[in-house]
Each structure stands twice: as C-alpha cells, then as structure tokens.
C-alpha cells in the first residue's frame, strides 16, 4: 500500500513539472518592442535546467530629437532579468536600475517591475510605470 502511494505522488509530481514546462514555452525566445521604427527594448527569455526562467533585457537609447531626420540608436544597455516568471498569460520580471542605466528612470538603485501580457505566440503588451509598449 505504501509503495502505490509513493508511485502516485511521483507521477503527479512529474506531470506538474511537465505542465509548468509547457506553459513556460509560450514566453521563451526573443521579444522586441519598437518605437519610432527602431527597437526600443528586446527581451531574451530562456529556460533553466531546473524549469525556471532566465534572460536579459536590452534597452536601446534613441535619439529624441524631433527634427525631420530619421531616428537613430545612440546606445544600449543590457541587464539581467530578476525573478522572471510566467503566470497564466502574464510574464513578469524585475530589473535593478544601477546608476540610472535605464533611461526612462534616471535614479539609481531602484528595482523596476515589468509585466508583459501575452496576446498571442508572437505579440505581447509590456507595461511598467503606466507605460505600454507593444512587444
């Protein structure tokens, strides 16, 4: 009797891990949000051996001049995703803003929280600080 209970728990645990892995697959890969026809943010999301998520966010610094010249990329900052997770169709993560590296928030030491609602396999809505960006 004890042996059957252990097998049942083992199978249940395996199915739970498999289901979590399958749902995380929806967010894996490269996501890009554009502004003025240029990349503004790029998320690279990957899976870890333990089933968790990891990745990077690349924020592009754009020329903000309003003249007639085409916009251009002035630089970029790559940062590690902190505590990335997928719950339902919402992918959330944090980044640590050190020395004002993220231009939309020039202060230092703050943790910025982002949520991306996945609308399809190739489209999501990224939100932070009441800003919405198509990714």
69-126 tens-digit pLDDT = 777 888 888 999 999 999 999 999 998 876 555 555 555 667 788 999 998 888 888 8
User: pLDDT tens digits for 24-56?
Assistant: 788 999 999 887 788 888 999 999 988 899 999
pTM score: 0.69
Describe the strand order of the beta sheet including 90-97 as a list of residue ranges: 82-87, 90-97, 110-118, 124-128, 131-134
Distance CA 9, CA 4 (A): 9
Based on its alpha-carbon atoms, the radius of gyration of the chain, rounded to whole angstroms, reads: 19
Structure tokens at 83: 């505590």
Residue 117 is predicted with a pLDDT of 92
Tokens 């049942």, located at residue = 8
User: CATH number for the domain including 74?
Assistant: 2.40.128
> DSSP labels for 91-117?
EEEEEEE-TT-STTS-SSSEEEEEEEE
Q: Where are the alpha helices (DSSP H) in 25-105?
A: none
d(CA 122, CA 134): 11
Higher-pLDDT residue of 120, 5: 120
DSSP label at residue 120 = S
Q: Tell me the residue range of the domain where 6 lies.
A: 2-134
Total count of domains within the chain: 1
């Amino acid at each position: 009797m004890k042996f059957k209970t252990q097998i049942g728990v083992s199978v249940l645990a395996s199915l739970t891990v498999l289901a979590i892995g399958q749902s995380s697959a929806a967010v894996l890969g490269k996501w890009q949000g554009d502004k003025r026809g240029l990349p503004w943010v790029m998320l690279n999301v990957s899976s870890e051996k333990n089933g968790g998520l990891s990745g990077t966010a690349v924020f592009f610094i754009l020329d903000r001049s309003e003249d007639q010249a085409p916009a251009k990329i002035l630089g970029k900052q790559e940062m590690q995703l902190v505590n990335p997770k997928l719950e339902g169709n919402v992918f959330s993560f944090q980044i640590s803003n050190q020395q004002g590296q993220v231009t939309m928030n020039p202060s230092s030491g703050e943790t910025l929280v982002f949520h991306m609602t996945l609308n399809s396999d190739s489209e999501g809505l990224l939100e932070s600080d009441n800003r919405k960006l198509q990714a």
